[in-house]
Amino acid sequence: MVEVIGGGQIAAFEPFEDYVLVDIIPIGVTAGGVALPAESDCAPPIAKVLKTGPGRTSDSGAVMPMPCREGDTVLFKTERYRPANEIELDGKKVYLMRVVDIMGRLKKAA
């Protein structure tokens, strides 16, 4: 659930246009067991896609398809990772970003 200013809760979140809701994956764990956050300078930020919007509408009215989908693991631009894009969903911090801020999809080796 998403807490709303003024009280109440929202049962679901659906991004508009080319927005993507992601769960940032910690990049590692220190020897002491502390999870390193994605904003650490140790590695590029990685996230799991939770939801996507339908895609941006072009000037001609066509909806451009999203290059990522729910469940994808993606690499994103660190300069777009801001607390202003953070929301709490079901007690967990997740982030909203535009698809243009996602640099690519990661795939497991076969």
Q: Is residue 69 helix, strand or coil?
A: coil
User: Is 74 among the domain residues?
Assistant: yes
CA 105, 100, 109: angle at the middle one, nearest 5? Answer: 5
User: Is 32 among the domain residues?
Assistant: no
What is the CATH number for 49?
A: 2.30.33.40
User: Is 1 among the domain residues?
Assistant: no
**Chain segment 18-59, per-residue pLDDT in tens:** 999 998 887 665 555 556 555 555 566 889 999 999 999 999
The residue segments making up the domain with residue 45 are 18-26+37-106
**Chain segment 62-82, per-residue pLDDT in tens:** 999 999 999 999 988 876 566
Count of the separate structural domains present in the chain: 1
Structure tokens at 67: 């290059």
The residues pairing with 74 across neighbouring beta strands, listed in sequence order, are 47, 105
